[in-house]
Amino acid sequence: MRIDAKGMHYRPLNKIIRDAIAAGEKEFELDNVGGQRYIGGGLNDSVKITINGTPGNDLGAFMNGPKIIINANAQDGIANTMNAGEIIVHGNVGDIIGYGMRGGKLYIKGDAGYRVGIHMKEYKKQVPVIIAGGTAGDFFGEYMAGGIMILLGMNGKSPLVGDYVGTGMHGGVMYIRGKVDPYHIGKEVNCLELNEEDVKLIGSYLKEYCEHFGFDLNEVMSGKFTKLVPLSHRPYGNLYVY
Amino acid sequence: MESQLPAEFIVNVDHERCRRCKRCMINCSFGAIEFKDKVAPNHRLCIACHRCATFCPESAITITENPLDYKYGYNWTPEIRKNILKQAESGGIILTGMGNPKPYPIYWDHMLIDACQVTNPSIDPLREPMELRTYLGAKPECLKFDGDSACLETEIAPQVKLDIPVVFAAMSYGAISLNAHKALAMAAKRMGTLMNTGEGGLHEDIASYASNIIVQVASGRFGVTSKYLNNSALVEIKIGQGAKPGIGGHLPGEKVGEDISKTRMIPVGTDALSPAPHHDIYSIEDLSQLIYAIKETTDYKKPVSVKIAAVHNVAAIASGIVRAGADIVMIDGFRGGTGAAPMVIRDHVGIPIELALAAVDERLRQEGIRNRASILVGGSIRQSADVVKAIALGADACVIGTASLIAMGCRVCQKCYTGNCAWGIATQKPELVRRLNPDIAADRLCNLLTAWGHEIQEVLGSLGINAIESLRGSRERLRGVGLPQETLDILGIKHAGIGQ
């Protein structure tokens, strides 16, 4: 189904999509998208949505299954509390992406804004993955409770990532391609070198990532990564007295 | 470091009457009773939960406050001295449970309700219809009907029906046990009201009670999925809690067992940390974004509530919440309960619900937007009279947490955070959870609401009105006693003795 979203409010646009899915539609192409919010929000079916234009905030909020491809930049709040599915952005993204994300994949070709992957968490087989090809702002992975975040820094910009990386982190793992100055990193975080298993793990996700955006996997993998993990699963365990 | 703290309570055992059955020892979940030829209490561990005394077949146990007197000091109270000793020994933040116990003014107890005499008739609720039903949700500005068919043309926002204007407060599975959650869900269904999951997700065993469940979305987003949001009567965004305004929550990893892990959707043994703010909400516009994300996900079929703690600027905040698109504003006063909160926050932050409610209702009326949202209030609603007074001040309905726990057996010992609740309520230990029979607890909750329902009907009858909705915001039916003019002005009521 092809929809011209020019000038359309998000409410009818999303309703058309929901109704069409209920009627059995599996594939959507949205043209002239310009800031409409909540596209893919709360959808539970494995549909494919291609977006031509810049979608608005909270794209894929509470989403549980669909695959969304954005052929442009995207804005704030992508994959908010997302449970499953895949979002591929051929551009940059805004702030607070992947907040409370619990499953699925979010692949970004370019840069990400502030507060990426805050309180991302995992549960058994549900392990969310965020990969950004460029740089990211402050509070990357703050309160991170699970999942995998990979930051590639391939646009040569500096610094690679802002301040307070992983502040309050108590689960999950981050891989940052390049050197992260210690003063950028939260006090709950431990910096490690990659082992063989790490290389295998990121290799499998990055292979998929490179296929989406036409990057050279060998070149991406040739960079030196820093692995960030929490020092404790209970960072505030000794704070209280009864 | 050896503790210098004296025991808080003394367990007195009448050894003449004691038949050495050890029931007290088995029942004490804090390890305060040992058996060495005879019952031997360890006073230091007693927290006065009354479990032993209640189950002693000979009534041989009494618990008294430790009569150890401190040199009198109005300023340096024994409690303050004990807290300093505790912190000098540990270096920790003092954690506590339940609501603020400090002797701040309780404004409910300074408000009196009107009644009919001679010139206007009262109503007998035993023989005449008396309606306690109310509906939560946004109400339209006006109703438009089609001229010919007289059919309603106005689109009505989703409404949730309450058969009694009392709903159970948000208490998460994690803070309280699954049996307590089951009891609340069963009672809510039977009484035509709602329970609230709190922020810990919805256990599959009570998912079938969806139409009587408020599902909460808090900053940790535990267990929040599109299915969770849709499997509900309404959705509540938790911004704040009366017992701990402005701070987050920590469910310690040792309480995150297999079942909690599944409901919260986090690994076993990890701390469940709820950050203080929602990191995607830094403004009213951001709040609106989340409200509509939820409305989109639930296809505009569920009312969305926003819960805040009563703080200084509560009226302006509530106005923003209503303008952001919330269908319900839930205000939690500073005496509201908690499973765990730093004492410094619980006892010193926030404002009383009576004043917050009056200020919010007044502000929304002034701005002409009171119809756009229902107001729910909680934070120490202790009795049916408090419900009546709250509704007369402008609330749509009240929320009870501690009162519902007491109905299930809680003795308000304030040790919820230890996970040792001897009554099977605020615990996850299977051997303790088993002590709370959900069917019996549900019966007790229903009895409480039934009793309150009758009492509210009696009061309405004496007021000469036959529907709870006729009382809403009718502050003329309240009078203050012993309150200064400024307080009366905020409450919008006259002092007792002033007629019309």
Torsion of CA A55, A57, A63, A68, to 10 degrees: 20
Please report the pLDDT score of residue B420 as a whole number: 95
- Cβ contacts of A14 on chain B, cutoff 8 Å: 296
Query: Which residue in B226, B271, B292 is closest to A234 by CB distance?
Result: B271
Residues A108, A133 contacting (CB under 8 angstroms): yes
Average pLDDT rounded to a whole number, residues A142-170: 94
Q: Which domains does chain A have, with CATH numbers?
A: 2-230 (2.160.20.60)
* Residue boundaries of the structural domains of chain B: 9-92, 134-495
Per the prediction, chain A carries an average pLDDT of: 95
- From the list B181, B164, B285, B191, the residue with the least C-alpha distance to B223 is B181
Contact B201, B220 (CB under 8 A): no
Reduced to 3 states (helix: H, G, I; strand: E, B; else coil), residue B358 is: helix
Q: Is A62 on the interface with B (CB under 8 A)?
A: yes
CA–CA separation, B499 vs B483, rounded Å? 17
Please give the distance of CA B313 from its chain centroid, rounded to a whole number.
21
Distance CA A172, CA A165 (A): 13
- DSSP string covering B180-249: HHHHHHHHHHHHT--EE-TTS---GGGGGGGGGEEEEE-TT-TT--HHHHHSSSEEEEE---TTSTT--E
pLDDT tens sequence across A176-233: 999 899 999 999 999 999 999 999 999 999 999 999 999 999 999 999 999 999 998 8
Longest dimension (CA), chain A: 61
What is the CB neighbour count within 10 angstroms for residue A32?
Answer: 13
Quick: pLDDT tens for A12-31. Answer: 999 999 999 999 999 999 99
Residue A211: Cβ within 10 Å count: 11
For the stretch A148-161, pLDDT in tens is 999 999 988 889 99
Contact residues, B window 257-316, toward A, CB-based 8 Å cutoff: 261-262, 265-267, 269-271, 273, 275, 279-280, 289-290, 292-294, 296-299
pLDDT at A113 over 70: yes
Question: For position B97, what pLDDT does the model report?
Answer: 94
Residue of B nearest to A38 (CA): B293
The residues of chain B scoring below 70 in pLDDT are 1
The one-letter amino acid at B447: N
Instruction: Measure in Å the smallest separation between the Cα of A205 and chain B Cα atoms.
Output: 22
Measured between beta carbons, which residues in chain B are less than 8 angstroms from residue A119? 219-221, 273, 275, 279
Topology (CATH level 3) of domain B134-495: TIM Barrel (3.20.20)
Q: Which amino acid is at B80?
A: I
Q: Is B85 on the interface with A (CB under 8 A)?
A: no
Burial of A182 (0-12, 13-18, 19+ CB in 10 A): exposed
pLDDT for position B1: 67
* Cβ contact, residue pair B296, A61, below 8 Å: yes
Backbone conformation region of residue A38, classed left if phi is above 0, alpha if psi is from -120 to 50, else beta? left
**Which pLDDT belongs to residue B500?**
83
Select the residue from A81, A170, A188 to test the B interface by mutation, using most B Cβ atoms within 10 A: A81
Check pLDDT > 80 for residue A173.
yes
pLDDT at position B2: 75
| Residue in A77, A143, A240 nearest the CB of B92 | A240
Cβ-Cβ pairs closer than 8 A, A with B, add up to 139
Span B9-92: which CATH code?
3.30.70.20
Residues of B in contact with A37 (CB under 8 A): 289, 292-293, 296
The span from the CA of B21 to the CA of A76, in Å, is 65
Which residues have C-beta within 8 Å of that of residue B253, sequence separation ≥ 6? Answer: A233, A234, A237, B269, B270, B271, B272
Say whether residue A63 is in contact with chain B using an 8 A CB cutoff: yes
Q: Taking the CB of residue B131, how many other CB atoms lie within 10 A of it?
A: 14
Q: d(Cα A137, Cα A139) in Å, to the nearest integer?
A: 7
Reported as type and span, the H/E element at residue A227 is strand A225-230
